[in-house]
Structure 1
């Protein structure tokens, strides 16, 4: 009996010890968890990439041909400006552009005469292609509705460090349509999306038709432009050199996959579209193609390897371009490495030549000769980018 009592006491002691140890362990774990949570709040881990997401909402009614032409011709200057942007950690931000058209009779009434032309994309050739596909036709311009649609359809993400901007341009009252523009703009503010308005016409008229109010409600900027103004270009001795270098640059692309050849053709088509606008637009596009913002890893093997060192190991033999079919992995790697080296050299030469071109323009170009749309966009972007630790220093 005495033996049983001793065993019972021993078991009880062990149980109490176990419970106490468990309690202390639980308390210690809770304490560690609290410390980790506090550390996360004080020193949050930031995502590796910081995005600049810009949605362009363009009125494509009858009177907007000038606006569309400005967008086509000034896209590359805007992209080039972004190549100088830096995040707080010194890296280059990832630029994504989405495109909507509204106010065009060719669009369906059920959708509010609104069409998503392109979701967020960093494919500069595709952005250019979609801009050049736009045509104008009379219609009803519903600003509140197109803002609301872009907020719902686009992937804005939840990173508070991203710069998220809407630029809506048009020339009819901001109040048109059943969707109240105030509701749409306030919804944007809740998503940390800033609405910037560009009225195509008289500054005072834009204010009276609520374009300024639409911007201010979300902390954005209101601007008025002459959408029919023609940009004044100044030819330089370096334009021809850059265009010739661009031709050499195109020869460094190694198209692969089912869409490779088609995408290579589209690249050259967008070169031609730019050149047909103005030779200077083609120069600006060539400069963009020499920057880090111009990426084509989905169809160019050089960019694919830059993004993923194992890309050649993973590619199927049938996806290879004709010059590489039947080649060994070693031979393919050597070929791609050679093209990469050629590209880097040409891109550096374009950048070097463009620096001389910029110096020439600084001496011979009058002030404020940048395009109206370009000026409006860059002024607002740089002002609002400062709040996200993005700068152009």
Structure 2
């Protein structure tokens, strides 16, 4: 379990969390459905998606994996930010859904094979961050074949052949442990058109000898060996403080509504704090992610909700409205939301412009080898597998 900047790199390169669109050559028509309260937006998790990237991260959370988990927390946003440049053959920008499993932790049920689904496929970046920060290490028994099999069985991978579907499993014990033969699990994955990528936390040859490479090769995936305890070097830039201040202003453009609103807005602030407590550079990367198309909160934010043609703000009950909109007419409410939308767009553009300068500064200051071999390896793996589904990467 190496630099999870890389694990997430792959995964998050696949990362883009809200709805997900894969790379179909032709755009499919969607029939709009009437929307009822709390969102008047069809549940994005219940209906099939076209143009969708689905990535399942299977992380070993046994005692020796603290470095891996910390990498995952800090590198999530690198993956998301890189994934914003992905493009389908039909010129659509694909979205991404991430699922998260932990395994090999003694705190988990032995009857379940020390495996737990932490998060079902989701495009909610705040939720993904929250679940990553909830992980702790302890134990244990690490059954790679079993956790792969469980993710195949529990998750709705869909049957669209154009969608990109990947598993990234990271660990440091033999791939052969457990009663379920890993070869059966990866064969099942291949039959479902799911690519298994393996990340061994340790010596490259040791990973080969313990079947981690074979676990990936059988599905056409990539085998990567990493030093999960290696500290990632973050480079401070003259633009960081400004971006963090803009992030605070960005939060003020969100207008919560419905039963989810207040709790989701609090979660947004909490994940900002989690990122900042890890390191200021991580908070900056998260702010950049929040300024991208991948950070969409239409289920609780009126600015994002009104982008959906099926959403009608007039359908909301008075109790579902924030205090600033109570007693307002539909015209007045929409005018207020449009004002916040304009503010948000301006702030997001400023963050993107500053980030371009920030990335240039980092590229000039970064020394050879500081970027992290895992991130580079995972990005290359993702691009290689995505190319087979007609994806390309344009910055």
Q: What's the TM-score, normalizing by structure 2?
A: 0.87
Q: Secondary structure at the match of 1:307?
A: coil
Match of 1:25 in 2: none
Q: For the pair shown, which has the larger CA radius of gyration, 1 or 2?
A: 1
Distance 1:344 1:268 in 2: 19
Match of 2:65 in 1: 64
CA contact (8 A) 1:70 1:373 kept: no
Q: Secondary structure at the match of 1:199?
A: strand
Match of 1:314 in 2: 315
Match of 2:109 in 1: 108
Match of 1:299 in 2: 300
Distance 2:110 2:126 in 1: 30
Distance 1:372 1:332 in 2: 50
Q: Secondary structure at the match of 1:249?
A: helix
CA contact (8 A) 1:253 1:301 kept: yes
Matched, 1:377 2:389: no
Distance 1:270 1:201 in 2: 30
Q: Secondary structure at the match of 2:388?
A: helix
Please state how far the C-alpha of 1:328 moved relative to its aligned partner.
Answer: 1.1
Match of 1:74 in 2: 75
Match of 2:8 in 1: none
Match of 1:330 in 2: 331
For residues 127 and 372 of structure 1, do their structure 2 counterparts lie closer, same or farther at Cα, with a shift above 3 Å needed?
A: farther
Please state how far the C-alpha of 1:84 moved relative to its aligned partner.
Answer: 0.7
Match of 1:173 in 2: 174
Distance 2:283 2:71 in 1: 14
Q: Show the 5 A alignment for 1:1-393.
A: 47=28, 49-308=50-309, 310-393=311-394
Please state how far the C-alpha of 1:94 moved relative to its aligned partner.
Answer: 1.2
Please state how far the C-alpha of 1:309 moved relative to its aligned partner.
Answer: 5.6
Match of 2:44 in 1: none
How many pairs were matched up?
351
Please state how far the C-alpha of 1:225 moved relative to its aligned partner.
Answer: 0.5
Q: Which 10-residue stretch deviates more, 346-355 or 366-375?
A: 366-375
Please state how far the C-alpha of 1:372 moved relative to its aligned partner.
Answer: 4.7
Q: Secondary structure at the match of 1:306?
A: coil
Deviations 1:80-100 (A, max 9, x none): 000011111211101000000
CA contact (8 A) 1:71 1:373 kept: no
For residues 47 and 152 of structure 1, do their structure 2 counterparts lie closer, same or farther at Cα, with a shift above 3 Å needed?
A: farther
Distance 1:185 1:228 in 2: 28
For residues 253 and 46 of structure 1, do their structure 2 counterparts lie closer, same or farther at Cα, with a shift above 3 Å needed?
A: closer
Distance 2:257 2:383 in 1: 37
CA contact (8 A) 2:224 2:374 kept: no
Q: What's the TM-score, normalizing by structure 1?
A: 0.87
Distance 2:377 2:125 in 1: 20
CA contact (8 A) 2:305 2:311 kept: no
Distance 2:225 2:189 in 1: 21
For residues 284 and 45 of structure 1, do their structure 2 counterparts lie closer, same or farther at Cα, with a shift above 3 Å needed?
A: closer
Please state how far the C-alpha of 1:45 moved relative to its aligned partner.
Answer: 5.2
For residues 212 and 297 of structure 1, do their structure 2 counterparts lie closer, same or farther at Cα, with a shift above 3 Å needed?
A: same
Q: Return the structure number with greater helix share.
A: 1
For residues 62 and 308 of structure 1, do their structure 2 counterparts lie closer, same or farther at Cα, with a shift above 3 Å needed?
A: same
Please state how far the C-alpha of 1:51 moved relative to its aligned partner.
Answer: 1.0
- 1 or 2 for the larger relative contact order (CA 8 Å, sep ≥6)? 2
Distance 1:46 1:164 in 2: 19
Distance 1:332 1:44 in 2: 39
Deviations 1:211-238 (A, max 9, x none): 0000000000000000000000111000
